[in-house]
């Protein structure tokens, strides 16, 4: 019996590491191992009577629970259709994964194992990304094989992008940005040449092979942080800058320049107020809808999952034609999403969440996590997006540390 219990404990120790390994490989596998991790943590909380230590002694975790509770309560007055409301609840439940995963990590003390598995899985995808970009192998056969094995559901949008493998370019770009910083951080500890190389390859991949402008902003911010806190040797700084200059002068920079240049054409396209089909245009109209929503329902918002219905109301009221393609429940900005659903109360709760995340005393990786989360929240509905949300939940749980260093019962 004792051997069985020891075996179960060993298996439990690998649940979150496996979720981190599959984060860019398989949505289904990541979801499966995350849910198992949260379930095990919940069982341990019940067994050890640890709920008070998680939710009462740490204000950050209280806010996680508060935001989700407000969303659940808002079902009562939500203008959303029933399916939209329930789907949003399922999306936002990820926010209360954070305290349970944090507890799981403190219980099993396997943070290094989680990061090691994340490094292995993301490195695998990074290598495949370069293989696909340079057309070293026929990825059509690869995707056929993946579908045959049912490893990962891959849509046509992912297949057609030159440097993405299983996830869309936004998610892959954001995760590679964090990965690049993490590799650089680890490399600086023991002057590891392999990690320096992986960091550089991920940096090049994000900035020159990827199409995500959100990832561009993140990688630039993390690079500035690196120059300030990690690359303190002037020779290394000079070498890094030289590589960037060489790449910017090469054909590698074409994709980056085109994506940045699209901003001007997107702005020109917005001169006709009924044309919002560009990426910038859709975000612009969703911002207008968000401001309209909070001005109409400032205190409590329109309820969980309500952005879709409130978008319809906005377009009909303003007599905007051909608006069907602009209607969504995901406005690609967490501030708009939360304020529409929960009004000022929800928005203030989310701002407190961000404040506590930023001010936690968890070191340089905590700062990097805050940067990734804030920028992602500005340009994406992070909890509404499944894989991006799970990734951010994992790294927040890994690198969040309360200043009071709350003692979690072993």
Query: For the segment 359-404, what is each residue's pLDDT rounded down to a tens digit?
Result: 887 789 999 999 999 999 999 989 988 899 999 999 999 998 643 3
Q: How far is CA 4 from CA 7, 10, 39, in A?
A: 5, 10, 19
User: For residue 231, what pLDDT is reported?
Assistant: 81
What pLDDT score does 33 carry? 96
Spatial contact of 375 and 217, defined as CB atoms under 8 Å apart: yes
What are the backbone dihedrals phi and psi of residue 251, each rounded to the nearest 5 degrees, phi first?
-65, -20
* Torsion angle defined by CA atoms of residues 115, 120, 121 and 123, in that order, rounded to the nearest 10 degrees: 110
Percent of the chain exceeding pLDDT 90 equals 52
- Predicted confidence (pLDDT) per residue in 279-305, tens digit: 777 888 888 899 999 999 999 999 999
pLDDT(410) > 50: no
Tell me, what's the pLDDT at 3? 46
Per mean pLDDT, which range of 82-86, 100-104, 142-146, 342-346 is the poorest?
142-146
Residue 148 has pLDDT above 70, yes or no: no
Average pLDDT over residues 115-126: 97
**The pLDDT value given to residue 151:** 54
Read off the pTM. 0.90
**Does residue 61 carry a pLDDT above 50?**
yes
Q: What is the dihedral of CA 398, 401, 405, 410, to 10 degrees?
A: -10
8 A C-beta contact, residue 304 and residue 78: yes
What is the pLDDT of the chain when averaged over all its residues? 84
Mean pLDDT, range 307-334, rounded to an integer: 84
Distance CA 134, CA 145 (A): 20
What's the whole-number mean pLDDT along residues 31-36?
A: 96
Q: Residue 267 — very low, low, confident or very high, per pLDDT cuts 50/70/90?
A: low
Across residues 111-134, what is the average pLDDT? 95
106 has a pLDDT exceeding 60: yes
- Please report the pLDDT score of residue 328 as a whole number: 85
406 pLDDT more than 70: no
Which pLDDT band, with edges at 50, 70 and 90, does 68 fall under?
very high
List all residues 6 or more positions away from 341 whose beta carbon is below 8 Å from its beta carbon.
71, 74, 78, 88, 301, 302, 303, 304, 305, 306, 307
Mean local confidence (pLDDT), 74-86? 91
The first and second tokens of residue 237, run together, are 């700084």
Q: Taking 70 as the threshold, does the pLDDT of residue 157 lie above it?
A: no
pLDDT at residue number 371: 96
Distances (CA, A) of 312 to 306, 316, 323, 373, 384: 10, 6, 8, 29, 19
HSE of 357, CA atoms in CB hemisphere, 13 A:
26
Question: Which residue in 144, 114, 226, 141 sits closest to 178, CA to CA?
Answer: 226
Where does the pLDDT of residue 409 fall: very low under 50, low under 70, confident under 90, or very high at 90 and above? very low
Please calculate the CA angle 301-381-394 and round it to the nearest 5 degrees.
120
Torsion of CA 314, 318, 321, 325, to 10 degrees: -20
């Amino acid at each position: 019996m004792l051997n069985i219990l020891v075996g179960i404990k060993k298996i439990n120790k690998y649940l979150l590491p496996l979720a981190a390994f599959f984060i860019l490989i398989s949505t289904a596998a990541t979801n499966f191992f995350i849910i198992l991790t949260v379930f095990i943590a919940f069982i341990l909380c019940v067994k050890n009577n640890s709920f008070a230590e998680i939710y009462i002694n740490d204000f950050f975790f209280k806010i996680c629970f508060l935001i989700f509770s407000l969303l659940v309560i808002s079902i009562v007055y939500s203008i959303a259709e029933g399916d939209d409301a329930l789907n949003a609840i399922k999306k936002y439940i990820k926010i209360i994964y954070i305290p349970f995963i944090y507890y799981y990590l403190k219980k099993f003390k396997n943070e290094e194992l989680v990061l090691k598995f994340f490094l292995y899985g993301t490195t695998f995808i990074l290598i495949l990304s370069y293989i696909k970009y340079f057309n070293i192998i026929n990825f059509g056969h690869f995707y056929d094989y993946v579908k045959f094995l049912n490893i990962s559901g891959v849509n046509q949008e992912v297949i057609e992008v030159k440097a993405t493998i299983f996830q869309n370019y936004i998610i892959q770009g954001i995760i590679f940005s964090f990965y690049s910083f993490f590799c650089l951080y680890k490399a600086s500890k023991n002057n590891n040449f392999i990690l320096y190389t992986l960091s550089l390859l991920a940096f090049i991949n994000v900035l020159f092979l990827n199409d995500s402008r959100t990832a561009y902003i993140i990688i630039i911010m993390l690079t500035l942080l690196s120059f300030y806190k990690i690359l303190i040797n002037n020779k290394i700084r000079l070498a890094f800058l030289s590589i960037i200059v060489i790449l910017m002068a090469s054909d590698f920079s074409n994709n980056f320049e085109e994506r940045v240049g699209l901003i001007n054409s997107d702005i020109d396209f917005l001169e006709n107020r009924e044309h919002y089909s560009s990426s910038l245009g859709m975000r612009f109209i969703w911002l207008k809808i968000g401001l309209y929503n909070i001005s109409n329902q400032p205190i409590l918002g329109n309820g969980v999952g309500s952005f879709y219905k409130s978008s319809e109301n906005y377009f009909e009221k303003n007599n905007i034609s051909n608006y069907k393609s602009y209607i969504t429940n995901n406005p690609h900005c967490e501030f708009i999403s939360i304020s529409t659903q929960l009004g000022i109360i929800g928005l203030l709760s989310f701002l407190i969440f961000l404040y506590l995340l930023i001010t936690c005393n968890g070191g340089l990786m905590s700062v990097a996590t805050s940067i990734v989360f804030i920028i992602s929240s500005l340009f994406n509905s992070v909890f509404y997006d499944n894989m991006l949300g799970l990734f951010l939940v994992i790294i927040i749980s890994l690198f969040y540390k309360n200043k009071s260093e709350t003692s979690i019962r072993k």
